[in-house]
Structure 1
Amino acid sequence: MTQADIVIRNAQILTMDERAPTAQSLALLGNKIAAVGRHEDMADLIGPKTRVIDADGATVLPGFVESHLHLFSGAYGRRFLQMSEIADLEAAKTALRQFAADNPDEGLLVAQGTTYELLAGHGKDPRQLIDEMVRDRPVLVLSFDFHTGWANSAALEQAELSRGRDVGAGSEVVVGPDGMATGELREKNAIGPVRALRTSGGREMLGNYGLEPETPPTPEERAQDIAVLKEGLAFCAAQGITSIHNMDGNRYLLELLKEIEDAGELTVRVEVPFHLTREKPLSSLDEASRLAADFNSDKLKSGRVKIFCDGVLESGTGVLVDEYANQPGHRGEPIFEAAHFNKAAIDIDARGLQISVHAIGDGAVRIVLDGVQAAQEANGKRDARHRIEHLEVVHPEDLPRFRELGVIASMQPLHVPGVMGLPLEPAVSVIGEARLPFAYAWRDVIETGADYAFSSDWPVVRVEPLVGISAALTREPFHPGVPDQRVPLMQVLEGFTWRGAFAGHMDDRTGRICTGMLADLVILGGDIAATDPKEIPGLGPVMTICDGQITFEATQGPGA
């Protein structure tokens, strides 16, 4: 009998296969799962060259599918000042001044991960507060969701934004009563002119807006970009991730990843979309079709179109059906108007491509659902698996439409107000009491029978799936009268494994542990079902296997 390359035994295997949901041992041969079952079932598969891994009673899962992240900006962003743990202005001042001293030649100092509360409610404009931290050099502080930035006076002056200017629909340079920019920059077109002040790097948002590099990168720049991607892939593999769905991209990014794949160094499966922005004509979708044809392997593929329909609720750029609770008369301005989105959805669907839309507010969610319905009426219904990304607020009338239209709800546990220290404000006040029961309503969505997936949105929040799993299990109602929207452990695990694979049209090959599937696995450092949900992040992982290859192994890995 053929000998296995790897046998894992003495494990609590959660297969995600309803036909045989648990097992004790499994064997890998090449890049496939060769057998799953009891300890004794593997005896004949063990030979002198077989690596036998004793899981010591720990959980083994299908490799985590991270179905919503930004790979390049996540990896590159680790070079910036991280402010997620900074809660007051004095600590921000100390950190920013030290960062400035450590980077004396950088044209723009970038900090990221801050809350909306840090620079609010102090009786001064954000630019004035940042001026008090660093006055003589341009500074850009980015919110944790990357949809809002705050700049100091030096940055605004150099970017020619001191008195504001029209930056297009869906974006805004906020101007105060005195006619001067306050420093608050809402959405990409407002933040972009300040970002352009960088004198090193500058490609940290590579592919985020779907544009190719303005000038061809030099061989040195290309090598640097590949190094950044490898760092990001290795970091993801260390979290037990074996597949990622990137939420931005272009041909250049795919070519870099293809070079990594050809060198045998693509340690995580990657899916990259074509990014359709408001400014691009629908004829640009020809490139989306070309990308789908040119990149279509089990390790690297395209085939999806990413669209932004709105911004975020905290800055007032999310789109709601009814007015904002804290801004009477304001509903938000969609980035894609309904008629425009319908045309795009019909065209994308007709090409056999998948649609993936950032839609935060219930108004944007409705625009997307209407667009998918228009596409089905025009093209006929198929197994398209179109997706709504984030789904922070849903109108109750639209809840059943997810199942009816086959739209996947892609949701992020670490986005919920109050989860793991995330502030309740301004989200709760923006959403308002009438809508709060329909905000982050995971259980309500799932109970309709809709397909769903859980993910992170790194670098907006931490990428570690175990942290997301813990957050999903421990979230509390964030306001009196709001229903408990937690879901059971197995449903959460499904959302991070086979349901993510389903969202990426890979569920026939990955996402479950059963014979014949691709060998994507993660071994944890304990029994997840027996662990206090708050302690789940401490379970590891201790080993990640992608396509039959060990892509991460902790120093104190599982026994052999």
Structure 2
Amino acid sequence: MSRQQAIGKLLLGLVFGVIGLSTHASDDWVLFGGHIYTAEQTIEQPEAVVVRDGRITHVGSLHEAKRLASSDAEWIDTTGKMVMPGFHDAHIHTRLGGRSLTGCDVAMAPDLEQLTEMLRGCFSSTDEPWLIAEGLNLGFFGQSGPELPWMNAINSDKPMLLRASDGHSVSINSVAMRLANITVDTETPEAGVIERDALGRPTGTLRESAMALADRVVPRETLEDRLHMASVAVKEMNRLGITSAFDAWVGSEDIDVYRSLDDQGMLTVRIRAALAYGRGDLFTLDSPDDYERLLANRAELSTERFKLAAVKLFIDGVLEGETAALVSPYLSDEGGSGHLTYSQAYLNTTVTELASQGVQVYTHAVGDGGVRSILDAFEAAEKALGETDLRHQISHLQLIHPDDYHRFAELGVVANFQALWALPDEWIMNLNLPVVGMDRVQRMYPIASMVEAGATIVGGSDWNISSLNPLEAIEVALLRQDWIANDELTKAEVEQLDTLNRSERVDLDTMLRAYTSTGAWAMHQDQETGTLSPGKRADLIVLSHDLFSTEPQSISTVEVEKTFLDGKLVYQKP
């Protein structure tokens, strides 16, 4: 049996297990009665949206909707609710998100004690040879991360691997350490960190490229595993109103799964994907030859709902472990300014080469030094090639030097924020503050400053690193505080809650556009999605409440009631 036949057989079983969401014959709809948010400038507030054959045919008066609607159209009364374009998540990892949903995920543990109990509970009910968990909160530990005594106390019989929720470190117990042959004599890989004690002995946490020392002995996921994880992840996106998403780091295995899901009619979300850069030894998913082949064949590998059109570059690491590149040094005893993955000359050449091939460059940069380095590379490419419309992106942007704010607009670079991180949580206050100082903490995630500087901003979750729910991120962007702790507070009480730099708060319309019209533009699909406009695809959602009539601290409690893709109902709240 060929690889494609195997994929088809696996998916066929999944297809037969899906219960149709709607028995409505024509898939023609009229939505009326609620607040219709179009994500574009309108003179009058629309009263109705008409959908026919997967496209929006009318946004406007109810009278005209009655005239244009087909005789068998279903009329959906959304009184008290809100109709809007589907969310565009500008940064996800579909397979990793599915892995969290189908495995042991501890991201919601509120403290170390409950984290420990959650892990013990997960591991007591599994017969798997390895104990693996996702979403470890490093904010519960010191600068060196989890250490062997704590991990061995959880389990000392089987190999255990805990993936940190930032995606840039893993922690392993002594059994796993022995299997991976990590000892005091193990050399630290280039651009990696092996946390050690005063005698040089590894203490259990591996960062960046050092993670590969453990990953190489962990059992590989099977084809069936990957298909199952992806299908579960897509359903979760549907549930949260996400109709388009940018998968920020894919390789050949991910591409096979996306193509197969779309072939079987199971890819009920539009995916634009960034191929993992494949030259060198860091952050790669395929061999250099396979990378070059995939890049050359990107158009042929794309499908109706899956587009392979970008390349992902990691410019630096993260502040935890001091691998993010900074303009000014860290304040820790070690000092230093972090690490750039590539020399400036190499990065300039790489970005220019990709841009010359019409490839959108999608990047990870956390520190202000990393951000400046990739901006310099984009500037070098523009000087070499002239202006392009590739809509390059820099994702994360925890720190941007103020001198660089204006360069995003000047270079046409998209600022891709994970707004859910813009609050004074244990990561920032316990791990980041001691090594960068309060002045830089107050500059973190400068969304309002970037808007004021004329930058194009989009919103992404970085799921499974953090919550997939766009409404949670939108609330944090508006308030810059804990979106769970403020649920039951009055407006006056909300203002007393710890906040990360109030001056960086933005308004609701700014964030809704970041997740709709601007998100679609950044994905090169603004002619098809992102606004409720006649002629565009009917990718839209119905929310349980009107966000503009909801207190900001309650936005995260609003639910998606219906999700439509191409006019077909792909999710309906039970």
Query: Deviation string for 1:391-436 (max 9, x for gaps)?
Result: 11011111111111111000011122426x7662212223323323
Among 490, 500, 503, the alignment partner of 2:509 is 490
Matched residue type, 2:478:
L
Query: Deviation string for 1:86-124 (max 9, x for gaps)?
Result: 2444433332222222113x22211222222323289x9
Contact 1:69 1:245 in 2 (8 A): yes
Equivalent residue, structure 2, for 1:506: 525
Question: Quick check: 1:448 aligned with 2:453?
Answer: yes
Matches within 5 A, 1:329-478: 329-418=335-424, 424-476=429-481
Q: Aligned pair in 2 of structure 1 residues 164, 512: CA closer, same or farther (>3 Å)? A: farther
Q: Aligned pair in 2 of structure 1 residues 276, 164: CA closer, same or farther (>3 Å)? A: farther
Equivalent residue, structure 2, for 1:195: 215
Q: Aligned pair in 2 of structure 1 residues 369, 196: CA closer, same or farther (>3 Å)? A: same
Question: Quick check: 1:118 aligned with 2:140?
Answer: yes
Larger CA deviation: 78-87 vs 450-459: 78-87
Question: Quick check: 1:148 aligned with 2:169?
Answer: yes
- Unaligned 5+ runs, structure 2: 1-25, 482-494
Query: Deviation string for 1:338-370 (max 9, x for gaps)?
Result: 122111101100001100110000010011001
The DSSP-based 3-state class of the residue aligned with 1:72 is helix
1:175 offset after TM fit, Å? 2.1
Larger CA deviation: 541-550 vs 466-475: 466-475
What is the alpha-carbon distance in structure 1 between the residues aligned to residue 44 and residue 527 of structure 2?
17
Query: Deviation string for 1:62-107 (max 9, x for gaps)?
Result: 1000110100111112233222232444433332222222113x22
Contact 2:432 2:441 in 1 (8 A): no
Q: Aligned pair in 2 of structure 1 residues 129, 164: CA closer, same or farther (>3 Å)? A: farther
What is the alpha-carbon distance in structure 1 between the residues aligned to residue 74 and residue 63 of structure 2?
16
Matched residue type, 1:194:
A
Matched residue type, 1:490:
D
What is the alpha-carbon distance in structure 2 between the residues aligned to residue 223 and residue 45 of structure 1?
46
Contact 1:416 1:422 in 2 (8 A): no
Equivalent residue, structure 2, for 1:230: 231
Matches within 5 A, 1:89-168: 89-104=112-127, 106-120=128-142, 126-163=147-184, 165-168=186-189
What is the alpha-carbon distance in structure 1 between the residues aligned to residue 146 and residue 33 of structure 2?
60
Supply the RMSD in Å over aligned alpha carbons.
2.4
Question: Quick check: 1:533 aligned with 2:536?
Answer: no
Contact 2:422 2:500 in 1 (8 A): no
What is the alpha-carbon distance in structure 2 between the residues aligned to residue 301 and residue 493 of structure 1?
24
Q: Aligned pair in 2 of structure 1 residues 80, 35: CA closer, same or farther (>3 Å)? A: same
Equivalent residue, structure 2, for 1:266: 267
Larger CA deviation: 409-418 vs 448-457: 409-418
Matched residue type, 1:66:
D
What is the alpha-carbon distance in structure 2 between the residues aligned to residue 361 and residue 9 of structure 1?
46
Query: Deviation string for 1:246-276 (max 9, x for gaps)?
Result: 0111233222212221222210001122111
Larger CA deviation: 7-16 vs 128-137: 128-137
Matched residue type, 1:457:
D
Q: Aligned pair in 2 of structure 1 residues 74, 237: CA closer, same or farther (>3 Å)? A: same
Larger CA deviation: 505-514 vs 129-138: 129-138
Matches within 5 A, 1:197-346: 197-199=217-219, 202-203=220-221, 221-277=222-278, 278-279=280-281, 286-327=292-333, 329-346=335-352
Larger CA deviation: 135-144 vs 391-400: 135-144
Q: Percent identity?
A: 27
What is the alpha-carbon distance in structure 1 between the residues aligned to residue 83 and residue 536 of structure 2?
15
Larger CA deviation: 336-345 vs 365-374: 336-345
Contact 2:138 2:146 in 1 (8 A): no
Matched residue type, 1:29:
R
What is the alpha-carbon distance in structure 2 between the residues aligned to residue 290 and residue 501 of structure 1?
25
1:512 offset after TM fit, Å? 0.4
1:544 offset after TM fit, Å? 0.3
Query: Deviation string for 1:34-69 (max 9, x for gaps)?
Result: 111021111123344211111113111110001101
- Spell out structure 1 runs of 4+ moving beyond 6 A: 280-285, 477-481
Larger CA deviation: 16-25 vs 511-520: 16-25
The DSSP-based 3-state class of the residue aligned with 1:484 is helix
Equivalent residue, structure 2, for 1:173: 194
Equivalent residue, structure 1, for 2:487: none
Contact 2:101 2:233 in 1 (8 A): no
Matched residue type, 1:150:
S
1:480 offset after TM fit, Å? 9.2
Larger CA deviation: 11-20 vs 222-231: 222-231
Equivalent residue, structure 1, for 2:572: 553
Question: Quick check: 1:71 aligned with 2:94?
Answer: yes
The DSSP-based 3-state class of the residue aligned with 1:324 is coil
Q: Aligned pair in 2 of structure 1 residues 125, 86: CA closer, same or farther (>3 Å)? A: closer
Among 51, 68, 73, the alignment partner of 1:45 is 68
Q: Aligned pair in 2 of structure 1 residues 444, 494: CA closer, same or farther (>3 Å)? A: same
What is the alpha-carbon distance in structure 2 between the residues aligned to residue 294 and residue 183 of structure 1?
43
Larger CA deviation: 445-454 vs 149-158: 149-158
Contact 1:170 1:310 in 2 (8 A): no
Matched residue type, 1:454:
G
Query: Deviation string for 1:191-220 (max 9, x for gaps)?
Result: 223234434xx33xxxxxxxxxxxxxxxxx
What is the alpha-carbon distance in structure 1 between the residues aligned to residue 452 and residue 53 of structure 2?
39
Query: Deviation string for 1:117-157 (max 9, x for gaps)?
Result: 323289x9711111122112211222221112221111111
Matched residue type, 1:233:
V
What is the alpha-carbon distance in structure 2 between the residues aligned to residue 261 and residue 177 of structure 1?
53
Per the normalisation by structure 1, the TM-score is 0.89
Equivalent residue, structure 2, for 1:206: none
Matched residue type, 1:295:
L
1:483 offset after TM fit, Å? 5.1
The DSSP-based 3-state class of the residue aligned with 1:18 is coil
1:321 offset after TM fit, Å? 0.9
Q: Aligned pair in 2 of structure 1 residues 298, 428: CA closer, same or farther (>3 Å)? A: farther
Matched residue type, 1:12:
H
What is the alpha-carbon distance in structure 2 between the residues aligned to residue 24 and residue 287 of structure 1?
50
Matched residue type, 1:113:
G
Matches within 5 A, 1:47-62: 47-62=70-85
Equivalent residue, structure 1, for 2:17: none
Corresponding residue pairs, total: 530
- Unaligned 5+ runs, structure 1: 204-220, 556-560
What is the alpha-carbon distance in structure 2 between the residues aligned to residue 481 and residue 250 of structure 1?
36
